[in-house]
């Protein structure tokens, strides 16, 4: 089977778009030219790679296998190019990074500083949930992931780089502030409150449930939200208390839209991890980002301008 890199590149574009027309537009070629190249590729393979049902095309079983290998070859070629460039210093390269939704509040600041330090580099950032992050690691769709502690037993490397305290938030006028202004709120009192919580499976929800299970009781979950932004809006509207990362509420604390309740045995101390597939050979730009994340400049960026007693006690910001 004799294939050319051009044929594989054309095939990868058609398979990704499931459209000869969009692939032709993407590659600045004519549609007949793309169709002819794919026909030649199918002839070399000896099996059809696409099937047409109505006006839509779909990958055949052989096409799905070829798509998998074409992606692998494409990544290896990109890696080879970046390795060669790295011999000249990290002056270019594209970083693929995915982060948990909660981490987006500081990840964008760090990425902006990184690209300023390495002006020839670019990045693609995917902000998504925990389940998707683990799937991306398993399928090698990303170079690095920033998330809370991943589950044990995965073929990955996870390095903690920053504390991530979870705190209880409430609107400033909540009665608990007045009732316990001289001391922290007892956990026994917290169980009487309704909470707005993240969806099952989120890192924050897992940590929260583990904490309260160890205390021997469950919270009253009044509403479930799929993002921290939704939780903050719901808490601000008086729908209940919330538990979120201190890193997500800088603006709300500064503008006095939310405040942190000092609660017994809080904050729940977690950590942020930089995660990669074990054995993965990182491109030079990703390796440079790992080193940058531990640099003095990055550490300074990760220090929140907001100062709060709970945050100070955690020594995380």
98: CB partners within 8 A, 6+ apart = 125, 126, 127, 128, 132, 133, 136, 141, 142, 144, 145, 146
Which of residues 62, 83, 104 is at a domain's end?
83
Q: Residue 39: what pLDDT?
A: 92
Does one domain contain both 158 and 169? no
* Statement to judge: residues 307 and 238 lie in one domain: no
Prediction pTM value: 0.64
- For 262, the token pair is 């000092």
Q: Are residues 247 and 183 in the same domain?
A: yes
Same domain, 74 and 150: no
User: In this predicted structure, what is the pLDDT of residue 301?
Assistant: 67
Label residue 231 left, alpha or beta by phi (over 0 means left) and psi (-120 to 50 means alpha).
alpha
Note whether 187 and 215 are within 8 A (CB): yes
Q: What pLDDT is stored for residue 312 in this prediction? A: 46
Q: What is the DSSP letter of 230?
A: H
Inter-residue contact 300 to 229 (CB < 8 Å): no
Residues in the chain: 317
Break the chain down into helix, strand, coil percent, rounded to 5. 45, 25, 30
Say what angle helices 5-17 and 31-45 make with each other, to 10 degrees: 110
Last residue of a domain, one of 83, 117, 152: 83
Q: Are residues 281 and 135 in the same domain?
A: yes
Backbone angles phi, psi at 238, to 5 degrees: 90, 20
CB 106 within 8 A of CB 301: yes
Residue after which a domain boundary falls, among 38, 68, 83: 83
Instruction: Say whether both 157 and 277 belong to one domain.
Output: yes
Neighbouring C-beta atoms of residue 71, cutoff 10 Å: 17
Pair 50, 13 in one domain: yes
Same domain, 157 and 282: yes
Strand spans (E) along the chain: 50-53, 56-59, 93-100, 121-128, 144-147, 156-170, 194-198, 220-225, 241-245, 259-261, 268-277
CA angle 270, 291, 282 (to 5 degrees): 95
How far is residue 58's CA from residue 14's CA, in Å, rounded to a whole number? Answer: 10
Q: Do residues 169 and 259 share a domain?
A: yes
What is the share, in percent, of the chain residues with pLDDT greater than 90? 38
Q: How many domains does the chain have?
A: 3
Token code pair at residue 43: 């002839």
Q: Write the pLDDT tens digit of every residue in 174-184.
A: 999 988 887 88
| Strand, coil or helix: 159 | strand
Residue 72 has a pLDDT of 86
288 lies in the same domain as 140: yes
Query: 25 and 98, same structural domain?
Result: no
**Which domain range does residue 105 map to?**
90-162+271-314
The pLDDT of residue 106? 87
Q: What DSSP character marks residue 183?
A: S
- pLDDT tens digits, 261-286: 999 989 999 889 999 988 888 888 89
Q: How far is CA 254 from the centre of its chain?
A: 26
**Structure-block tokens of residue 201:** 């499976």
Beta-strand relationship, 93-100 and 144-147: parallel
- The CA distance from 15 to 33, in Å, is 16
**How many Å apart are CA 148 and CA 270, to the nearest integer?**
7
Segment-wise mean pLDDT, segments of 10 residues, the chain, 317 residues: 85 93 91 91 92 90 92 82 64 86 87 90 90 88 90 86 91 90 86 88 85 84 85 93 90 92 90 89 87 79 52 41
Average pLDDT, rounded, for the chain: 85
Same domain, yes or no: 256 and 111 = no
Provide the CATH number for the domain around residue 136: 3.40.190.10
Q: Are 118 and 297 in contact (CB under 8 A)?
A: no
d(CA 285, CA 16): 25
Beta bridge partners of 194: 220
């Amino acid at each position: 089977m004799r294939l050319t890199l051009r044929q594989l590149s054309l095939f990868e574009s058609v398979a990704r778009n499931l459209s000869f027309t969009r692939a032709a537009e993407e590659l600045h070629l004519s549609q007949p030219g793309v169709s002819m190249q794919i026909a030649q590729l199918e002839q070399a393979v000896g099996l059809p790679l696409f099937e047409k049902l109505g006006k839509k095309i779909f990958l055949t079983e052989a096409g799905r296998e070829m798509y998998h290998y074409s992606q692998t070859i494409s990544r290896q070629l990109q890696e080879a190019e970046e390795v060669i460039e790295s011999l000249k210093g990290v002056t270019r390269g594209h970083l693929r990074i995915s982060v948990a939704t909660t981490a987006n509040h500081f990840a964008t600041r760090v990425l902006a500083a990184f690209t300023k330090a390495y002006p020839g580099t670019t990045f693609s950032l995917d902000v998504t949930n925990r389940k998707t992050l683990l799937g991306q690691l398993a399928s090698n769709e990303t170079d690095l992931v920033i998330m809370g502690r991943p589950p044990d037993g995965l073929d990955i490397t996870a390095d903690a780089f920053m504390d991530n305290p979870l705190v209880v938030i409430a609107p400033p006028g909540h009665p608990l502030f007045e009732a316990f202004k001289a001391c922290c709120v007892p956990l026994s009192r917290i169980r009487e409150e309704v909470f707005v919580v993240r969806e099952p499976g989120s890192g924050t929800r897992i940590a929260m449930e583990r904490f309260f299970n160890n205390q021997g009781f469950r919270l009253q979950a009044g509403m479930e939200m799929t993002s921290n932004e939704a939780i903050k809006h719901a808490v601000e509207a008086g729908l209940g208390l919330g538990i979120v990362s201190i890193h997500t509420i800088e603006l709300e604390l500064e503008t006095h839209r939310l405040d942190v309740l000092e609660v017994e045995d809080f904050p729940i101390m977690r950590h942020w991890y930089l995660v990669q597939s074990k054995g993965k050979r990182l491109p030079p730009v990703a390796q440079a980002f790992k080193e940058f994340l531990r640099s003095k400049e990055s550490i300074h960026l990760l220090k929140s301008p907001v100062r709060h007693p709970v945050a100070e006690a955690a020594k995380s910001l």
